[in-house]
Chains A and B, each alone.
Chain A
Amino acid sequence: MDGASLTAIALRQFRRSHVGRVGAALVATFLGLTALAPLLAPYDPVATDFTTVLAPPSWTHPFGTDDIGRDILSRVIHGSRVSLEAGLFTVAVALVVGLPLGLAAGFVGGRVDDLIMRAVEVILSFPTLVLALGITAILGPKLIHALFAIGVVFVPHFARLIRGQVLAVKENDFVAAATALGATDLRVVVLHVLPNCIAPLLVQSSFSISFAILTEAALSFLGLGTQPPTPSWGIMLSTARGYLEQAPWLGAFPGLAIFLTVLGFNLLGDGIRDALDPRLTL
């Protein structure tokens, strides 16, 4: 082993992983689309043209038009923004709530641990989509509510992951040393325990983003997420369902977009996991 830093080793590991590279490329494309959507999209994604309804793919409309004459390519490009929002917002909710809960449960232990973990298990015992459906049904059909619902669904996964990590990390000598030197609990948790939990968190976040994109699509498909005319891949699929025979391009392109983005984040997650796994380090 040379004298390179751990980060450098991880990066090198990551570059060696084909899977990770493909994932990173897909995610980069996706991020590029969201950032440059207004520049890349040939049309306004909500502009209707009632004279070209359900037009098949052509030079003027490469992905065709939908049931009220909107350009599907432009809607797929702009739809990436809803998906990115879905991924980032939900993971943020899950982190903001799940991280402190997991840290507290793992580090304090005892009754606090029992209380938090039982609550988490209650949430976990609901089927994911049903819980998200229930929350949006109560709060009302708005994108932000759907995203919040998905975030809540993720909380248990993050809380449990962190707790497990903390339980392992806090037995290390350096934690005992820090405590012996008089560091407060908060200082120990934030400066010594948390940094050692980052790797699995990154992997979990990556997988969660892809799952959030899928769930947002599912909720929008059911009419509980994004509301029309905002372009969302889920809503586009929902509309497409009625035209599978007549106009298959309505569903093909948003479907492909969801597939590639979810694949991208999953592969990226795999790549990060491999890169950070000490057992695989040469």
Chain B
Amino acid sequence: MRTPVMLGVLAALVFVSGPARTATGEVRGGTIRIGMDADMTTMDPHRSTAAVDRQVYNNLYGKLVDIDAKFGIVPQLAQSWEIRNGGLTYVFKLRKGVKFHDGSDFTAEIVKWNFDRMRDPALASPRRSEIAPVKEVRVVDAATVEVTLTAPFSPFLSVLTDRAGMMVSRAAVEKYGEDYARNPVGTGPFRFVEWVKDDHLTLKRFDGYWDASLPHLDEIVYRPVPDHSVRFAAMRTGQIDVMHQIAPKDVAAARAERGLKVSEIASLWWQAIHLNNQVPPFNVKAVRQAIWYAVDRAVIQRVVYYGQGAPAWGPFPPSMWAQDREFTDWKRDVARAKAKLAEGGMPNGFSFAVKGWNQPTHVQELQIVQAQLKEIGVDMKIELLEFGKLLADLNSHTFVALRIGWSGRPDPDGNAHVFLHSKGGLNRVRYSNPKMDELLDQARAESDIGKRKALYVQVTRLAAEDAPYAWLHHDAEIKVWADHVKGFEHISDGMLRMKGVWIETR
């Protein structure tokens, strides 16, 4: 007797809970599983130093502004802004009625508190140097904030599209203290649920998101799968829906696989061998130049990267307006490399050790460089380390040469100033040239793009002349996702912004 009733209830449930489509055709609901190349390190954006963390933050946190596919600055928590006093003052009009996941309000007061938190020396925030030009943050009214800079700093808005612009809940920081990093509260489209180290991190839809039509998904699960081959296998067998970071050699297979989509655009990355400018033999400019001319970037692009990406002759990738596309002095020239060796007082070559990450693509690339240097009589020994040790050696200047990459920033300043300025925070090679400092400082103070470009062309040429780094390659930004994943907008910064993404159910 009960069965017909139950069936009726079930039918009603199916009718009610069946895929709900929005007017524009997106489907609400579902879980998306993302395969990551590493586990997250912290959920506090003001303390994070790992690129992988930003992938989660972009869904968990709201930030003052964001970038679009053309590097244009678009509103997020700040609905509009005005730049006054020749670039010294930024006035942000905030979006009203925005709530944090814990129910607290997002206000001008909170923005000021966030800036103060990042600038507090006690927190030792990596953001502190990014927003170093900030002199004062003033609350004008509940929805207006005025930021004053010590000097014009044209990358400022661009800096706020990353972690420095992410707003954390004051109530949550005060409640959890040191444990905030594992109990994050933002204003993003998804709220934090749980993080099981080295296994998964889960976010759920935030029903109080300021844009009531978003997000479409119910849940995001991030899974760290460090091994490229294993991650790709998980993608092919449907254990994950989106894959972050694919090995260059697997791209063709991914394209050929039914049910997978591959998107390839120019990234913000550069890869380079860092040459320690303060210790022999690379304290001699001619010797660094010998390396510059001895490496064959075209071969590296073809063999290691399967033709993806582009050869690198400086810190600016092809995705940036700052790249000097007329520059040609990066091609291999063995005779010139040998002449430079002689000029540097080492006509018979020399021997040195390069430190690198024990990761297949890097090992392959280093062995190619090794073979190319051998042709000019330079014996490069390869010392492979795990990533943590490599970073530690880089940061403590414990290297003669070290191969590592930079994930890049939307503004060219973020790809060059920290590495090439004598006071740059990541200038681990201890390169110093007053002319370079002047150019970089001028470029960040200039607001006219045409003039900035002219300055960055000079930066590129001077960096090639001084050769503090042997730039090798700009990676392609490649994402792989399953056919049923819709609505993903691929931007050069490679961030997986999931608020507009939905899953097609069949």
B458 vs chain A, min Cβ distance (A): 34
Assembly CA distance A233 to B360 (angstroms): 16
Q: Which residue of A lies closest to B357 (CB)?
A: A223
One of A11-19, A188-196, A240-248, A256-264 contacting the partner: A240-248
Query: Which residue of A46, A47, A68, A246 contacts B364 across the interface (Cβ within 8 Å)?
Result: A68
CB <8 Å contact, A228 and B229: no
- With a cutoff of 8 Å between Cβ atoms, the chain B residues found around residue A128 in the complex are none
Q: Which residue of A lies closest to B372 (CB)?
A: A48
Q: Which residue of A lies closest to B252 (CB)?
A: A246
CB <8 Å contact, B371 and A68: yes
A62 vs chain B, min Cβ distance (A): 22
Given contacts A68-B364, A228-B363, contact A242 B382 (CB under 8 A): no
CB <8 Å contact, B384 and A227: yes
Q: Is B339 an interface residue (CB 8 A)?
A: no
A215 vs chain B, min Cβ distance (A): 18
Q: Is B335 an interface residue (CB 8 A)?
A: no
Q: Which residue of B lies closest to A243 (CB)?
A: B249
Bitwise, B232-267 to A at CB < 8 A (1) or not (0) is: 000000000000000101000100000000000000
Q: Which residue of B lies closest to A246 (CB)?
A: B249
- With a cutoff of 8 Å between Cβ atoms, the chain B residues found around residue A243 in the complex are 249
Interface of B is mostly: helix
- Tell me the B346-386 residues at the A interface (CB within 8 Å): 358, 360, 363-364, 366-368, 370-371, 381-385
Assembly CA distance A241 to B360 (angstroms): 9
Q: Is A239 an interface residue (CB 8 A)?
A: yes
Assembly CA distance A223 to B355 (angstroms): 13
CB <8 Å contact, A53 and B303: yes
Q: Is A141 an interface residue (CB 8 A)?
A: yes
Assembly CA distance A203 to B390 (angstroms): 42
Q: Which residue of B lies closest to A247 (CB)?
A: B249
Q: Is A67 an interface residue (CB 8 A)?
A: yes
Q: Is A50 an interface residue (CB 8 A)?
A: yes
CB <8 Å contact, A227 and B381: yes
Bitwise, A30-72 to B at CB < 8 A (1) or not (0) is: 0000000000000000111010010000000000000111000
Given contacts A242-B228, A242-B229, contact A227 B383 (CB under 8 A): yes
Q: Which residue of B lies closest to A49 (CB)?
A: B371
Name which of A227, A239, A241, A242 has the most chain B CB atoms within 10 A of its CB.
A242
Q: Is A229 an interface residue (CB 8 A)?
A: yes
Q: A48-B371, A241-B229 are in contact. List 4 more A-B contacts (CB 8 A).
A: A141-B384, A227-B381, A242-B229, A242-B247
Return 14 A-B CB contacts under 8 Å, by A number.
A47-B371, A67-B364, A68-B303, A69-B303, A223-B358, A223-B384, A227-B381, A228-B370, A229-B367, A239-B363, A241-B229, A242-B228, A242-B229, A242-B247
Binding site for B on A (CB under 8 A): 46-48, 50, 53, 67-69, 140-141, 223, 227-229, 239, 241-246
Binding site for A on B (CB under 8 A): 228-229, 247, 249, 253, 299, 302-303, 358, 360, 363-364, 366-368, 370-371, 381-385
